[in-house]
Copies of this chain bind each other. A is one copy, B any other.
């Protein structure tokens, strides 16, 4: 049985999940989109725009399963709603623009080391962490918006 080079069905299958069409499409979306961080609603609308009508309930279920299978990771970003991103093994943190919502990623080994040290010193066995920086990005539109808000 031959499979296309970029077939993600294997990734799904090796997580103990059946390689169904909705799952293949959802995973592919994360692999191909330029917008790395997507909410359930974002996924629903993206697929719909692509001609795939997949029920929201299914999307929520699949995102949860993918997170448990460590294909995706989940974040909250102070927004009260979850966003997911492709888990590519390498840990990283986030820098979020409060004006346009753009998210950049970074990883600072020194910060990682200090975190580990802090946890140890307090008798915690560190399992994971979330560091998000919020600010205003270099886009002039964002800076203008920020000024307008502070006047507001």
Determine the interface band of chain A, counting residues with CB < 8 A from chain B: 35 or more
Interface stretch (choices A19-27, A46-54, A125-133)? A125-133
Do the beta carbons of B98 and A127 come within 8 Å of each other? yes
Q: Is the CB of A144 closer than 8 A to any CB of chain B?
A: no
Indicate which residue in B78, B124, B131, B135 contacts A76 across the interface (CB closer than 8 Å): B78
Residue of B nearest to A82 (CB): B80
Q: Is the CB of A110 closer than 8 A to any CB of chain B?
A: yes
Residues in B whose Cβ lies below 8 Å from that of A75? 78
Q: Is the CB of A34 closer than 8 A to any CB of chain B?
A: no
Number of copies: 2
Do the beta carbons of A124 and B133 come within 8 Å of each other? yes
Do the beta carbons of A115 and B133 come within 8 Å of each other? yes
Residues in B whose Cβ lies below 8 Å from that of A56? none
Given contacts A95-B119, A122-B137, 15 further A-B contacts (CB under 8 A): A80-B82, A111-B114, A118-B133, A119-B133, A122-B138, A123-B137, A124-B133, A124-B136, A124-B138, A126-B133, A128-B135, A129-B132, A129-B133, A130-B131, A130-B134
